[in-house]
Structure formats: C-alpha cells, structure tokens
Amino acid sequence: MEIILWIVVVALFALSIAGIFLPVLPDTILLWAGFLLYHFFIAEPGAGLPASFWWGMVGLSILLYGADVLTNMYFVKKYGGSKWSSAAAVVGIFVGIFVFPPIGMIVLPFVFVVLVELFVQNQTMERAVKAGFGSLIGFLGSAIVKVVLQLVMMIWFFLAA
C-alpha cells in the first residue's frame, strides 16, 4: 500500500509541474496534496515533516502565486504594454487552454495583447507587437520561475521525508 501512496505523491508532483502550463490544474495545491498525503498516510506517526518544512513551503507557495502576476506585469510594462494588455494576456491564456492547448496558451495572449494595444490603446503596430512580445516573455519567464520554485519544493520535500 505504501508503494501505491508514493506513486500517487509522485503523480501529484508531476501534475503540479503540468499545472504551470495548464492553469486548469492547481499546481501549488497539487504539491501540497502530495506533502499532506505523505505526512498523514506514509510517514510514521509522530515522525512527519518538521515545522521548518511547513513554514518554508508556505513562503515558497506565496512566491509561486506571486510569480505569475509579478512576472507578467513586469515584462508587459517593460515592453510598453498597458494594464489592459496585462488583462488581455491573462484572458488569452485561459481562452487558449480551451481553444487549442497548449499552443493556444502562448499564441492567444500575444494576439490579444496586440489587439488591445492596437484598438483600445490606439498604439502603432510596432508598439503593439512589442507589448505582445512582452506578454510572451512574461508568460515564459513566469513558467521558468515556477518550475524552479516547484523543483526546490520537491527536492526539499524528499530531503525532509
């Protein structure tokens, strides 16, 4: 039974990585489900994960949630986009999930940002494409940050377990 539970823990961790690119999957919640499954069902009673692990995971989880917002805002602004462009990028990601995943999650935010910059913000095509490129860099940058943070969390888990 313990082997099956470990397989479920590893599967939850793999799904959490997939959740970075498929926002329908709650990446951080899946990680926590793996931690809790180990702590309550695999670890010996009284020998679960230490308090320092849990506090560290809380801090890293907050960083995970902030990575999307902060990275997207930074790059869209850096490349000349507006707040409307940031919102368009988020909408593009969600629409892209359902229209033609996973490529849609990359292409549609770019297209939506360009359209918003052209027609709502009345920018030139050059500035609109530059802002669209910023949303693309923001999404990819956020994904890289989240992969690194999740790998740190998983390595810490296996060291603590």
pLDDT in tens, 15-62: 999 988 777 788 999 999 999 999 999 998 888 899 999 999 999 999
**pLDDT < 70 stretches in the chain:** none
Predicted pLDDT of residue 71: 80
Specify whether the CB–CB gap between 128 and 149 falls below 8 A: no
What pLDDT does 93 receive?
Answer: 77
Q: What is the spatial distance between Cα 109 and Cα 92, in angstroms, rounded to a whole number? A: 4
pLDDT at 72: 72
For residue 13, the model assigns a pLDDT of 97
Q: Which amino acid is at 35?
A: F
**How far is C-alpha 142 from the geometric centre of its chain's CA atoms?**
7
Query: What pLDDT score was predicted for residue 56?
Result: 97
- pLDDT recorded at residue 98: 82
Q: What is the pLDDT of residue 62?
A: 92
Contacts with 25 (C-beta within 8 Å, 6 or more apart), sequence order = 15, 16, 18, 19
pTM of the model: 0.79
Tally of CA atoms within 13 A in the half-sphere of 113 that contains its CB: 36
Question: What is the identity of the amino acid at 133?
Answer: F
